[in-house]
Chain A
Amino acid sequence: RKEVEQDPGPFNVPEGATVAFNCTYSNSASQSFFWYRQDCRKEPKLLMSVYSSGNEDGRFTAQLNRASQYISLLIRDSKLSDSATYLCVVNGYSSASKIIFGSGTRLSIRP
């Protein structure tokens, strides 16, 4: 089993729709969680951190479920510009080598 697993997609949704995807992790000692966005042939860029209480940034909402060991990302009112690959990142404690990226979920927004 991979340490961090994501549905590769692609998720193909119409503009304006709400879309959500999850990321599961295997190490219960994981300490911090993030979502990154990566456009085709570009570098990953930090989208948002994921806090235990859940957090929202505009149209994006991230949540953490420690009991079931998954994080989620919800995108409301999706825009064409949201088309990208979304990478979840899970970090162990005090160790850079424990930073694990998922393989990414590909999202495509159609007009």
Chain B
Amino acid sequence: DTGVSQNPRHKITKRGQNVTFRCDPISEHNRLYWYRQTLGQGPEFLTYFQNEAQLEKSRLLSDRFSAERPKGSFSTLEIQRTEQGDSAMYLCASSLSPRYNEQFFGPGTRLTVL
């Protein structure tokens, strides 16, 4: 399968715990995006990488959230001290520069914070 993959697919955690998600983009894509989606809403942009450089972050991204893409390939999104409001689907997408919107999405990680 050469699409975008995400792990884990589901994560249930207790409030206050830290969680980390991984995204493996399509191999030749140099752009990688993280989004958050809640029920009945469209995806909301969180952050974006071009290669290993994190170029943009949304104001939605509090300081409890951090993302990395250390070698310009896979990326991780960490949420520290999770809150119930963090419960959502976290989607990763990748694209081949320079077409921002022809993005290919992974299946997402569904986070439930109890």
Contact = CB atoms under 8 A, between A and B. Distances in A.
Contact of B42 (A49, A97, A101): A101
B100 A43 contact: no
B48 A97 contact: yes
Contacts of B105: 43-45
A61 to B, nearest CB: 19
A96 B41 CA distance: 19
A17 interface: no
Contacts, number: 56
A99 interface: yes
B50 to A, nearest CB: 9
Interface string A19-61: 0000000000000101000000011111001000000000000
Could you say which interface size class chain A belongs to?
20 to 34
Contact of A87 (B31, B33, B42, B56): B42
B33 A101 contact: no
Interface in A68-87: 87
B107 A99 contact: no
B40 interface: yes
B42 A46 contact: no
A25 B66 CA distance: 30
Nearest to A101: B42
B41 A103 contact: yes
A89 B103 CA distance: 11
B95 to A, nearest CB: 9
Contacts of A42: 107
Given A43-B91, A46-B102, A99 B108 contact: no
B56 A95 contact: yes
A46 B100 CA distance: 12
